[in-house]
Chains A and B, each alone.
Chain A
Amino acid sequence: MARPDPPPSDHPPPLQPQVVLGAVTTGLLNTSAPLPLDAARQVLALVPGVKADWRRHPIDQVISPDLFFGLDCRLAVHSGAQPRIIGTARARALLTAGHALQGSARVDVVLDASRRRLSWSHYMARTGVVEAINKADPADIVAGFLAGRPGKSALDLGNTSAYVMSLLDEAPQIDRQAPLKAQTHRLLWAAHVNEDVEPGAQIEAGDDGVFRVRISTPPAQLPHFVEFCEILALHDWLLNALRNAYDRSNRKGRRGNDGELGPALSYLGHVWNPNAHLPRELQWLWDALEREAQLSWAWQAALTRVRDKVSLLTQKAIEETLHKEVL
């Protein structure tokens, strides 16, 4: 999501990352009612001494400052030895419409930086960056990360993004009484960064329910792609949450699940708006995605089904009441 531009710096970073890896986890904030903007700004001030960024139009959104995580582990690759990386990952939390919560983690990978682990002050002077010790092929790193099966000692940004979400559980403003079940969803993205490439992306929905976005971009456009992935993750989650609520209400012999449709409508019904914070530079990518995956059509269809079902149930309830009165 668009953060204000960082202040300009005249120092060019010494080494540009060739690969940037990211994970976005999306879920429902565990509250009985959406968090008002002021409360959300308090809760998402995850770094002491720094306030959260926020926007009100067209939909409330609060973005936490970045948290950093120390890394010394391997990158999953298909061929050859797994490169060892040392440095820090960054992660932030985003809250949209007061209850759609996301953890967004990323790490910038600089290849061939040094031959051994350096003193920690070196890595703290370039937070958010990891340096790979052994040789590695950027394309292989992208493919290995998106395969998404990190071994015991391989980078796991999914966990990092989920951890940032869990930080909100402790806040006193959160009553932990969400009226709706909604599974968390994960999106993985990986970018091959190169000054000379045209920006482009391929999006794949896997059989494990995970969206995977493969990006190639010049460095200046990378922040737009990060926002794009966060927006895509949010809307993929919304669609799944609504469909799942509907499916659960249809299961036979599970009385009481109809009760979830009301909260599903009032919680999720108004949130769909992929263009809300979409960077203009990537409008073409969303448009292309819509032509092929038709996410907005799917959302409308799911919403119509839920509304129709609620109408029918209401009608039935009225008829039953009238019937009792006649008796």
Chain B
Amino acid sequence: MMYSPSRNGAPPVPVFRERNRGTTVQNLPLSHLSVEVGHFYMEDLENGEEPILEQFRRVRPWLEAAKASVLSGTGKPRVSTCFLIDDYFQHWSDAPEIMMKLVRLSQEAGVVIDYFARESACARRRDGFDVADLLATTLLEEPEPDRDTGSRPPSTASGWLSNGRPSREYTVLNAMEAHAWDAPLEYGKRNHSIYVDVELWRDGADPGADKEVLLKQRQYSCPFLAAVWQLVRLGLLRADGAPALEVTDFDGEWKREWSQLPEVVRVNPRAMPFYAYQSLSIMPQNFLPIETAVRTIIDHFIVQPGVMESLDARAAEENIELSAAISERMSHHFLPGRK
């Protein structure tokens, strides 16, 4: 509307505006569901082929079930598959050999993997950007019941994160009972507590070292990196509005060193988008404790402003209702057996 001098004393319409958003949240291409089709430790990938093939074969019917049951609202279902390579804790293996083996065996089992991602990229990108620190600095510890008045700084400096208070043993002086014990407490318990305490990382640097040195010498735990991985898949972890890990198309050649491989690489040109409203991870049951830890971590994650709104608005356009809680957007299927 143009400004025109008012005749009747009504306030004029504004003619000047200045609003500089520091960060603009990107709208990502989104699938309805991102399915993680199995998981191996690096030592399993190096050894015989039969257990790998066997796991993919067991994944397949559950992948088909997921595709058949995906919530897609008014749109055609969009499901993408992905696989996370454990190159953080061991990375001396021959990358091209393992990658080609994985592609071949998964195809043999009838599981099409659309995207491969590296676990070490969940810690740090090839360009040196600290992805894990994005999560580490946005975790909010749970307030103590009837104690936290807003004066306590939000921090997880210890490298541990819990859902309550640990048990306590102490000695009482001058009392009938010299020894006392307090039970652990889950702050959000329903009736009984399940107290969980998760190691997020271990610091190698001396106390007081500057942040760069500290981060370089920090070893993140497996659940912590898996939490980064889940948040990336759900489009919730961002660096200045862009996804913390971006997708690169496969250029036809696997580099020798793991560290030279893209963070997330699309190997299937016809794949649906990597990022998704909801995620499903299909993996052997021995990863259950790790995934419990992952959910604990994600339950303490603060989403950057505008990110949730961007996803929710897109979902609403497709008539999909998303849970407000992030961990309710994630699901798991655990396969029986050892591997």
Contact = CB atoms under 8 A, between A and B. Distances in A.
Contacts of B238: 49
B310 interface: yes
A150 B148 CA distance: 13
Interface stretch (B13-21, B42-50, B264-272): B13-21
A119 B299 contact: yes
Contacts of B178: none
Interface in A58-73: 65-73
A153 B143 CA distance: 12
A41 B22 contact: yes
Nearest to B144: A72
B137 to A, nearest CB: 5
A118 B188 contact: yes
B150 A155 contact: yes
Interface residues of B, number: 58
Q: Is the interface of B mostly helix, strand, loop or mixed?
A: loop
Contacts of B321: 11
Interface in A139-162: 150, 152-157, 159-160
A220 interface: no
Given A11-B316, A47-B304, A124-B140, A105 B146 contact: no
A97 B335 CA distance: 60
A203 interface: no
Given A9-B313, A50-B23, A122 B150 contact: no
A157 B137 CA distance: 22
Nearest to B317: A10
A49 B316 CA distance: 26
Contact of B18 (A56, A69, A107, A156): A56
A125 interface: yes
B192 interface: no
Contacts of B151: 156, 159-160, 163
A127 B302 contact: yes
A70 B148 contact: yes
Given A118-B188, A121-B299, A72 B145 contact: yes
Interface-central residue, B134, B138, B303, B305, by most chain A CB under 10 Å? B305
A52 interface: yes
Given A73-B148, A88-B140, A120-B163, A55 B312 contact: no
Given A9-B309, A124-B301, A124-B325, A156 B150 contact: yes
B316 to A, nearest CB: 4
Contacts of A126: 324
Given A117-B187, A155-B149, 13 more contacts: A9-B316, A49-B304, A50-B240, A69-B154, A70-B142, A70-B154, A73-B146, A105-B150, A122-B188, A124-B302, A125-B325, A125-B326, A280-B11
18 contacts: A10-B312, A53-B20, A69-B150, A70-B141, A71-B143, A73-B146, A118-B188, A120-B300, A121-B326, A124-B140, A125-B324, A125-B326, A150-B149, A152-B149, A156-B151, A159-B150, A280-B11, A283-B11
Interface of A: 2-4, 6-11, 41, 45, 47-57, 65-74, 84, 86, 88-89, 105, 107, 117-122, 124-127, 150, 152-157, 159-160, 163, 280, 283
Interface of B: 11, 14, 16, 18-23, 25, 133-134, 137-138, 140-154, 163, 187-188, 237-240, 244, 298-306, 309-310, 312-313, 316, 321, 323-328
